[in-house]
Amino acid sequence: MSVAWDLFVAQFNWVQAALVLGSGSLVGFSLGLVGGGGSILATPLLLYVVGIASPHVAIGTSAVAVALNALVNLISHARHNNVKWPCGLLFAGAGVVGAFGGSSLGKAMDGQALIALFATLMIVIGVLTLVRRAHEGKPLVRLSRGNAASIFFVGLGAGCLSGFFGIGGGFLIVPGLILATGMPTLYAVGTSLIAVAAFGATTAVNYAASGLVDWPIAALFVAGGALGGWLGARAAARLSLLAGALDNVFAIVVIAVGLYVLARTPLGARLLIAFF
């Protein structure tokens, strides 16, 4: 037993483990501080900080972390009665079908092209976050014949994009739920976590079936995310008056990271050179 343990210690990459924990903590902190969307930083961190060579493995591994982080946050929102379960379950059910199709398409796509599209999406998300405003909505909204079809088809589309890029998709799901049901932003955020967890799990299972998940890194990333999320939530409580400013800072960071990731891909570098 001692020999096996000594061999494990000798072969274990402690530097990479520290980088994974730190990256997971950063994503968790951003989620706790500014809410949904922070998980989009997971794939770039796994690629360029942790050092995962394959874009597909980075996406599959981040999907595991996204699903588990969303599940933890869902429990918290449910305790505060911020979840519209019937609407959320229908949205998630439709989206799981889309997430499976989207993740299958993502696996089949060239890794560098996929990351270039991912970076472009990050830039779009950052811009949308800068212009996003809270929506008062209808607090008493519920699932009905009048909104069921809208919830289903919007969920299907959001799930497809979420699976294709291997992200939670909260930035898509929240406005999608508001569009389909008219619910307030607070309820949309809480309800969206049902779909985020379901989409992330679907993508993770699909990638894992192809051997595209690094489970030890995923476990460390989730552990770091739990610690970072706790610290972020505490910071958010103290900085609540600066919520709008924090969203703007987060959006600028996402745009900057998106530009960096885009510049690291051959296709993205050519596009940036042509644009500037």
For the stretch 115-134, pLDDT in tens is: 888 888 878 877 876 776 65
Contact 172, 162 (CB under 8 A): yes
Phi, psi of 137 (to 5 degrees): 70, -165
DSSP label of 211: T
Alpha carbons 227 and 224: distance in angstroms, whole number: 5
Reduce the DSSP state of residue 184 to 3 states and report it: coil
Judge whether residue 31 has pLDDT over 90. Answer: no
Give CA torsion, residues 93, 94, 97, 100, to 10 deg: -80
Judge whether residue 273 has pLDDT over 50. Answer: yes
Q: Which two tokens stand for residue 241?
A: 């008056």
CA angle (166 as vertex; 59, 153 as ends), nearest 5: 170
pTM of the model: 0.77
Q: Which two tokens stand for residue 246?
A: 């924090």
Length of the chain: 276
Alpha carbons 24 and 28: distance in angstroms, whole number: 6
pLDDT digits (tens, 9 = 90+) for 158-186: 899 888 887 766 667 877 888 889 888 77
Q: Choose from 105-114, 148-157, 169-178, 259-268 the range with maximum mean pLDDT.
A: 148-157
DSSP label of 48: I
If you search the block for the tokens 């898509």, which residue do you land on?
172
Alpha carbons 49 and 47: distance in angstroms, whole number: 6
Contact 33, 246 (CB under 8 A): yes
Alpha carbons 145 and 154: distance in angstroms, whole number: 15
